[in-house]
Amino acid sequence: MAAQVSILKFGVSSPADTSPLKHVKVAGYNASKILAVIGKSEGNGCVNDFSRTLSTVVWEPLIPDSAVTIFSEGTEGVLSPHVTFIVREEEATGLLAAAGRTRVLEPHEIGTAEHATQIASSVREILERTNISRENVNLVLIKCPLLTSEKVGITKAASKAPVTEDTYESMAKSRYASAVGIAVALGEIGESYLDEAMRNETTWSSRASCSSGAELEDCHILIIASDPSSGNLRGISAHMDDAIDANVILRVLDQVKTEKGRVLQVFAKAEASKNGTIRGMRHTMNNDSDIHSTRHARAAMGGLIAGLVGDTQLYISGGAEGQGPPGGGSLAVFYTVAEPHSQKALV
């Protein structure tokens, strides 16, 4: 069975700061209740970001073996480093969650159809095991591995072809494969379409949020779903059509307001459109050789969402390949309402 869960979040003073665990306990949950730790912390969020590894090293001994950690770095602009906890509740809350992992991916599998297939089968297996209906899934968060120079070397030495030799690009390939796997598992695309989706690089799910890091070899999976029959927590899935799509955010916030709710956390993916333009106007994120485009995109979308929500502790993650439409990104908002009533579909 899936766990009924709540969402807590707390600021951190550095990637090594585990003091939020105290706050979790003060809030009435001991560590065994933690299903997932989802961190957003400083660091460039790129290949040589060891703050993810640091967070993993300090957090993993403190939480149950079954819990997953998803540390996505990069708090450019106004974004504030923080940790979000998904904790188990005894009573129905309106939100369900379940976690799991794929098998270890070999370096030559990262970013390939095999990677997507592993994600699809693991997500599907978790849904079946926990009896979560795929229609009710609001968000599938995945942390997946990337290729370092070392892994590229090992792969080539073994006469295998890495999906790319560009380590930064491998992050994008890995995210895309994960997103395609999610789309298959959620029935957004058919399984037979997986290979074609890997080729066209234009398939997307609005419920996927994937980030890649050097600190892991397998993929961590966290699924959050709505249980509209009960509780006072709600989730909305949507997507931004482009990087300045304020309207969808305003619509979601209107719905929260209508329900007299309060936003708990926003999960959004950001990316620089590959065609170099936004609504026909040129952007420069892809031509900046000093700052990677993922950093630009997080800063910009973070500024927009933080301004509208009035909160800077948001999970804005860069690199939206397959996660929302090209140039836009997936968006999931979780909130609490004063009086329980059922989740509305976002029009």
Output the CA torsion sign for 46, 48, 54, 59. Answer: positive
For its own copies, give the closer residue by CB, 57 or 338: 57
211 catalytic per annotation = yes
Binding mask 191-230 for its own copies (x = CB under 8 A): -----------------------xx---------------
Dihedral pair phi/psi, residue 92, rounded to 5°: -70, 135
* Element (DSSP H or E) covering residue 3: strand 3-11
CA nearest to 83, candidates 94, 69, 93: 69
Binders in 73-112 for its own copies, by CB under 8 A: 75-82
Judged by CB under 8 A, the stretch of 104-112, 121-129, 135-143, 161-169 that binds its own copies is: 161-169
Beta bridge partners of 296: none
Annotated binding residue 324 = yes
For residues 74 and 43, the answer to whether their CB atoms sit within 8 Å is: yes
Q: Is 58 in the site for its own copies (CB under 8 A)?
A: yes
Long-range contacts of the stretch 292-295 (C-beta < 8 A, 24+) = 292/44, 292/46, 292/168, 293/318, 294/45, 294/46, 294/74, 294/171, 294/270, 294/318, 294/319, 295/44, 295/45, 295/46, 295/74, 295/76
Minimum separation from the CB atom of position 228 to its own copies (A)? 30
Which residue intervals of the chain are DSSP H helices? 20-26, 51-59, 113-130, 149-157, 167-185, 194-200, 246-258, 293-309
Minimum separation from the CB atom of position 303 to its own copies (A)? 3
For its own copies, give the closer residue by CB, 14 or 258: 14
Q: Is 275 in the site for its own copies (CB under 8 A)?
A: yes
Query: Of these, 191, 200, 307, 342, which contacts its own copies (CB under 8 A)?
Result: 307
Query: Of these, 106, 169, 217, 218, which contacts its own copies (CB under 8 A)?
Result: 169
Binding mask 119-158 for its own copies (x = CB under 8 A): -----------------------------xxx-xx-----
Q: How far apart are CA 196 and CA 201, in angstroms?
A: 9
Dihedral pair phi/psi, residue 219, rounded to 5°: -110, 135
Annotated binding residue 66 = no
Binding mask 15-44 for its own copies (x = CB under 8 A): xx-------------------------xxx
Q: Is 244 in the site for its own copies (CB under 8 A)?
A: yes
Binders in 249-268 for its own copies, by CB under 8 A: 249
Query: Of these, 51, 72, 112, 330, which contacts its own copies (CB under 8 A)?
Result: 51
For its own copies, give the closer residue by CB, 14 or 342: 14
Annotated binding residue 212 = yes
Minimum separation from the CB atom of position 19 to its own copies (A)? 13
For residues 65 and 36, the answer to whether their CB atoms sit within 8 Å is: no
Q: Is 49 in the site for its own copies (CB under 8 A)?
A: yes
Q: Which of 211, 226, 273, 293 is catalytic?
A: 211
Tell how far CA 258 is from the center of its chain.
27
Q: How far apart are CA 96 and CA 259, in angstroms?
A: 20
Tell how far CA 6 is from the center of its chain.
17
- Binding-site residue numbers for Mg(2+) are 271, 320, 323-325, 328
Q: Tell me the catalytic residues.
A: 143, 211
